[in-house]
Amino acid sequence: MGEGLSGSSAPLDPAFWRGRRIFLTGHTGFIGGWMASVLHHFGAEIYGCALSPPTKPSFFALAGLEHRLVNTIADVRDRAALKRAYVAAQPDIVVHLAAQPLVSVGYANPVETFETNIMGTVNLLDCVREQGCEAVVVMTSDKVYDNPGADNREDDRLGARDPYGGSKVCCEIAAEVYARSFLDKAKVPLATVRAGNVIGGGDWAADRLIPDAVRAFHAGRPLSVRFPDAARPWQHVLDAVHGILLVGQRTASSPPAPVAWNIGPPAGRTMTVGEVAALAASVWGDGARVAHDGLQSFPEAKTLALDSRRIRHELGYVESWDLPHVIKRTMKWYRKALGGADAWTLSQRQIDDYLADAVRTCP
Whether 6 shows a pLDDT value over 80: the answer reads no
- Count of domains observed in the chain: 1
Bridge-partner residues for 198, per DSSP?
Answer: 235
Instruction: Tell me which residue of 245, 189, 308, 196 sits closest to 46, measured CA to CA.
Output: 245
pLDDT of residue 303: 83
Which structural domain range is residue 316 located in?
A: 8-295+303-361
pLDDT attached to residue 11: 83
Q: Is the pLDDT of residue 10 over 60?
A: no
Residue 290: inside a domain, yes or no? yes
- pLDDT by residue (tens digit) across 273-288? 999 999 999 999 999 9
**C-alpha to C-alpha distance for 29 and 360, rounded to whole angstroms:** 30
The predicted structure's pLDDT at residue 8: 32
Cα–Cα distance list, 203 to 5, 59, 98, 107, 200 (Å):
27, 7, 15, 21, 7
> Is residue 3 in a domain?
no
Residue 20 lies in a domain: yes
* Mean pLDDT (whole number) for 254-272: 85
Is residue 120 situated within a structural domain? Answer: yes
pLDDT digits (tens, 9 = 90+) for 79-110: 999 999 999 999 999 999 999 999 999 999 99
Residue 22 domain-assigned?
yes
In a domain, 1, yes or no: no
pLDDT tens column, 105-156: 999 999 999 999 999 999 999 999 999 999 999 999 999 999 987 889 999 9
User: What integer is the mean pLDDT of 228-249?
Assistant: 95
Give a yes or no: residue 280 inside a domain.
Answer: yes
- CATH number for the domain including 57? 3.40.50.720
Percentage of the chain beyond pLDDT 90 is 82
The mean pLDDT of the chain is 92
The helix (run of H) or strand (run of E) holding residue 274 is: helix 273-284
Distance of CA 156 to the CA centre of its chain: 21
86 in a structural domain: yes
